Copies of this chain bind each other. A is one copy, B any other.
Amino acid sequence: MTATERSTRDRLLDAFETLLVTAGSRAATLDAVAAQAETSKGGLLYHFHSKDELVEGMLDRLRSQGAADAARMKTAKQGPVDYYLTTSVNSGSDFDRALIAAGRIAQESDSRATAALADLRNGWFTVLREHLDDEALARTIQLIGDGLYFDDTTGLAEKSAVKHVRTILRRLDVLP
């Protein structure tokens, strides 16, 4: 097995996330996930005994990705605010996909997914709050990030959005 090969388990999680993001939770069936991962339903159910376990596996992976992201944000060259804005736009990264996928699950009023997302957001907010030392500003910037993220995940994204936000943040002396 070479380093570029993904384990079947990871390919299944990838497939689940991809279906959630591109077609929504109704389309993310076990059949569809198995097909997308190019394996069988039996193969899927060996790794994850139920759909619920598939969700758990996805959220576990998200949590570890999220911890790494908050660390990167803290030490980003361009500063936490710019890093946060840039990464709030869906760049198609694995982390973005996992994040959007978890959002889809959260909307089915799944408390595990909601809790995982809340933890992530708290991590980002803590970094923003420490860096800016301004509660109102940190909250507002987080809302802008949420807006960018939401627009991206609903097909409502406006290309120049981040540019406009930078303009306003310069007026507030947050960005140079």
Contacts and interface: CB of A to CB of B under 8 A. Distances in A.
Interface residues of A, number: 45
Interface in A136-176: 136-137, 139-140, 142-151, 153-156, 158, 160-161, 163-165, 167-168, 171-172
Contact of A155 (B114, B149, B150): B114
Task: Identify which of A25, A114, A143, A144 gathers the most chain B CB atoms within 10 Å of its CB.
Answer: A143
Contacts of A147: 142-147, 150
Contact of A158 (B24, B109, B139): B139
Task: Identify which of A24, A109, A137 gathers the most chain B CB atoms within 10 Å of its CB.
Answer: A24
A13 B26 CA distance: 20
A121 interface: yes
A11 B22 CA distance: 31
Per DSSP, chain A at the interface is helix
Contacts of A126: none
Interface of A: 22-27, 103-104, 106-109, 114, 117-118, 121, 135-137, 139-140, 142-151, 153-156, 158, 160-161, 163-165, 167-168, 171-172
A-B pairs, top 5 by smallest CB distance, nearest first, are: A143-B147, A146-B147, A24-B108, A147-B147, A150-B150
